[in-house]
Amino acid sequence: MTKPTKDAHSERILRGLEHDDSSVRLRAALAAGTHPDPEHIGKLVERCATEPEFHVRETLTWALTRHAAPLTVPLLVDEVRSGGDVRPERARARSQALHTLSKIGDRQAWPVITPALLSDPDDEVARSAWRAAVVLVPEGEERELAVGLAAQLGRGERGTRLSLSRALIALGEVMLPVLGAATADPDPRVRAHALATEQLWHDPDAGFAPAIEEAKRVVALGGAGGEGR
């Protein structure tokens, strides 16, 4: 049997990434990561932006992490910066690009994490930005990031608030003074979220829902910070 040439193998992967069958796309993504080839990077990034199946998207992200960061990071940063396009599919593309940048972990991507991105109106984009930020933040800039993240306290539904709490906690003790200040914020939603995050910091096994309910109770009773607890 004639062994397929490199070009034929590469072409099969590229075709597979566009196949209607998700199992074929998954195998193609696995092959692209198993045998990294710079010629596949553009298609992998493009497919990450449009892939509807979660498990295939995760494999595409894994495949990109297998390629050299100087080749992948600029393309992913360009995806994140396409913020002027408000179509839902573009929000998904930006969110997945941020997720992939967090998995690559190259701090050369840090400049893309702007205050505007941390407060992006799309919750999924913002959540991905928070997760990426705590991975990419350069040493010495953690407190400034904590301030930027704390500005989003009280935002969104339970899943969004939990993502923000986890991001703040991932920064470590540097975020505690910022979080403490937020427990005295005039907005009761911000105070409750800050208190719940403090509780999770001290007792990670407590669970977010009980922490939020307890924080709401404390806020309702007029407590803030260490008062009323």
Tens of pLDDT, residue by residue over 133-176, are 999 999 999 999 999 999 999 999 999 999 999 999 999 999 99
> Does 102 map to a domain?
no
- pTM strictly above 0.95: no
> Does 198 map to a domain?
yes
Could you list the residue range(s) of the whole structural domain that residue 153 is in?
137-229
Q: Which amino acid appears at position 117 of this protein?
A: L
What per-residue confidence (pLDDT) applies to 7? 81
What per-residue confidence (pLDDT) applies to 39? 94
> Does 92 map to a domain?
no
Q: Which residues of the chain have pLDDT under 50?
A: 1-2, 224-229
Say if CB 92 and CB 124 are below 8 A apart. Answer: yes
Distance of CA 15 to the CA centre of its chain: 29
What per-residue confidence (pLDDT) applies to 1? 47
3-state secondary structure the chain: CCCCCHHHHHHHHHHHCCCCCHHHHHHHHHHHHHCCCHHHHHHHHHHHHHCCCHHHHHHHHHHHHCCCHHHHHHHHHHHHCCCCCCCHHHHHHHHHHHHHHHHHCCHHHHHHCCHHHHCCCCHHHHHHHHHHHHHHCCCCCHHHHHHHHHCCCCCCCHHHHHHHHHHHHHCHHHHHHHHHHHCCCCCHHHHHHHHHHHHHHHCCCCCHHHHHHHHHHHHHCCCCCCCCC
What per-residue confidence (pLDDT) applies to 229? 33
What per-residue confidence (pLDDT) applies to 172? 95
As a whole number of angstroms, the distance between CA 178 and CA 144 comes to 10
CA separation, residue 137 to residues 130, 166, 189, 227 (Å): 10, 15, 27, 33
Q: Is the dihedral of CA 147, 122, 109, 63 positive or negative?
A: positive
> Does 54 map to a domain?
no
Give the residue among 36, 41, 29, 27 at the shortest CA–CA distance from 6.
36
> Does 174 map to a domain?
yes
> Does 3 map to a domain?
no
Distance of CA 38 to the CA centre of its chain: 25
Scanning the structure block, which residue is given the tokens 């505007």?
A: 116
> Does 166 map to a domain?
yes
Task: Indicate the number of domains in the chain.
Answer: 1
As a whole number of angstroms, the distance between CA 226 and CA 147 comes to 20
> Does 62 map to a domain?
no
